Amino acid sequence: MVAHLVRLKLTLLRNGFRRSPWQLVGVILGGLYALGLLAMLITGLFFLSYTDPATARTAVILGGAAAFVGWALIPLVAFGVDMTLDPARFVTFAVPMPQLLAGLAVGGVLGIPGIITLLAALGQAAAWWQHPAAMIAAVPCAVLAVLTAVVLSRLTTSATTALASSRRFKDASGVIAIVPLVLLGPISFGIMEGLRSSQDFLPVLADTLSWTPLGSIWAVPGDLATGSWGAAAAKLAISLLALAVLAWLWKLSLARALVTPAHNAVASRKAGNLGLFARVPATPAGAVAARALTYWLKDPRYGASLIVVPLIPVVMFFGVSQAGDLTPMLWLGPILAFLLAFSISADISYDNTAFALHLAAGVSGLADRTGRAAACALFALPATVLAAVIPVALMGRWELLPAVLGLSLGTLLSGLGLSSVVSARYTYNVPLPGESPFKTPPGSGVRMMVVQCLGMVALVLLVLPEGLLALAFVLTGQPLWGWLALAVGVVLGSVLLAAGLRIGGRWYDRRGPELLQAVSVNK
């Protein structure tokens, strides 16, 4: 039975690759990246042990405890990260509980996060190469640690199955989880600052953690290396006990999840609230715009990219203010404009087969393109203007405003035109409607990256005129060049937008059924 579950997991993994060679390329690239990080980590530990075993011990304990926390919490916020062995799918099979537990645990290790964690845990043995006993002990400890991590994550998954089946919770957690990810830079910088000012704090924290289940298993080899045999034995006992308790809790919650099918009670609501549909012009393009805007607000896949918008200035400001020079902040407008304009380039992919309604209703390509671009422009335009004005205001250099604004608006308008063409031609594998914004099918990122890079190159060419004028202004300091950049940005941008809507619309009219075919492959 255990072998069956493991084989099921491997088959699912392999079949996933078989559907698209791009996925395989993506996984290989991702794997190489992770392996590179891993090699650096192990080399670091190796050299650290040369100079300072105590520091190596602290690093291993803290890193290990962080890994445990990650394994426990990530399934909570990122639903569908790896639900291939979701307990809910085994409800109808009469698999004996012990075998189901063992199979799910081993299946959980197989998969990129599990394998990387295992390799990293085994790699810590390198830190103890001067102490043979500690190095040998590190291997079983690593296996035990990974098992604990997997059981921990399975426990949170099965304990929150009921919660996870609520759509509202899924939607909210998917969007909110983006915030710490985007702010990773500032947050880790803050932590580093804190650490620098309290260097003595870390060893103390590590020592404390080493007596808790979070750090105990990671501390065993280090304690052996420093000769504290008693402490090592005690910590091993703590770890084993913790694993047993976790496994028991997991068994309980799994048993409960298996007999409590997911349900989703929603209060029904009467008619009368058309929302945005009551506020747009009653034309096909207006309806498309209302629908797209409703999705920006209600679909977590769009919400996730919307919530990034106010965070980007924060991240940039943080990075720039370290150096004390705000000049790079002037790029905020064009960068934000590019991101917002390009965010609609995968619009039809996001629709998935719901796009059939547009096709069945015979919406003209121009109306479809116009509606989607208008929905994006409605918030992207004010956001871009603000992003152009705020840095200039912060620096108090208003003479820069026309050039910056011209480049920003030019980028936004030309970008919207470009996106309107791109999304009528290319579709990507994106998270399906209702899935977590995190659940990118593995490897799909590569194709998206290629299209985005090409798009960026094309956009740079499209905004070259206003870019050159802005450059001329910077070089000469003649205000005339700045004003020319603004005029060209707005006029040329509008022309390119109109052209993009038309060309994209014509492609859409010609290739509607093919687009539907392309998005229906991803399901």
Partner 1 sequence: MAAHEPALSIRGLAKAFGGKIAVNGVSLDVPAGSFYGLVGPNGAGKTTTLSMATGLLRPDYGQVVVHGVDVWSQPLQAKRLMGILPDGVRLFDRLTGEQLVTYAGLLRGMDRQTVAGRVADLLRALDLAKDAGTLVVDYSAGMTKKIALASALIHAPRLLVLDEPFESVDPVSAANIRDILHNYVDSGGTVIVSSHVMDLVQRMCDHVAVIAGGHVLAAGTVDEVRAGESLEDRFVELVGGRNQAEGLEWLRTS
Residues of the shown chain interacting with partner 1 in the complex, contacts defined by CB under 8 A? 167, 264, 266-275, 277, 282-284, 286-288, 290-291, 294-295, 298-299, 351-354, 356-364, 433-434, 512-514, 516-517, 520
Straight-line distance from the first to the last Cα atom of the chain, in angstroms, rounded to the nearest whole number: 29
* Residue 120 CB partners (closer than 8 Å, separation 6+): 38, 41, 42, 63, 67
Q: Rank residues 356 and 487 by Cβ distance to partner 1 and give the closer one.
A: 356
Rounded to whole angstroms, the Cα distance separating 165 from 10 reads: 26
Between 18 and 270, CB nearer to partner 1 = 270
Instruction: Locate 431 and state its tokens.
Output: 């998270």
Report residue 277: phi and psi, to 5°. -65, -20
CB atoms within 10 A of CB 14: 10
Q: Which is nearer to partner 1, 148 or 173 (CB)?
A: 173
Rounded Cα–Cα distance for residues 111 and 118 (Å):
11
Q: Cβ of residue 430: shortest distance to partner 1, in angstroms?
A: 13
Closest CB to partner 1 among residues 171, 223 = 171
468-476 own/partner pairs: CB under 8 Å, 24+ apart = 469/403, 469/406, 470/403, 470/404, 470/406, 470/407, 473/402, 473/403, 474/403
Task: Closer to partner 1 by CB, 323 or 360: give it.
Answer: 360
Closest distance between partner 1 and the C-beta of residue 428, in Å? 17
Whichever of 63 and 433 has its CB closer to partner 1, that residue is 433
User: Smaller CB distance to partner 1: residue 207 or 509?
Assistant: 509
**Nearest to partner 1 of 335, 356 (CB atom):** 356
Residues 6+ apart with CB under 8 A from 357: none
Smallest separation, CB 513 to partner 1 (Å)? 5
Q: How far is the C-alpha of 310 from the C-alpha of 445, rounded, in Å?
A: 24
431 vs 438: CA distance, rounded Å: 8
Q: What minimum distance in Å lies between the beta carbon of 305 and partner 1?
A: 15
| Shortest reach from residue 332's CB to partner 1, in Å | 31
Greatest Cα-to-Cα distance within the chain, rounded to the nearest angstrom: 80
**Distance of closest approach, residue 265 Cβ to partner 1, in angstroms:** 9
| Identity at 451, one-letter amino acid code | V
Least distance (Å) between residue 355 CB and partner 1? 8
CB of 473 to partner 1, least distance (A): 45
Would you tell me how many other CB atoms lie within 10 Å of the CB of residue 226? 15
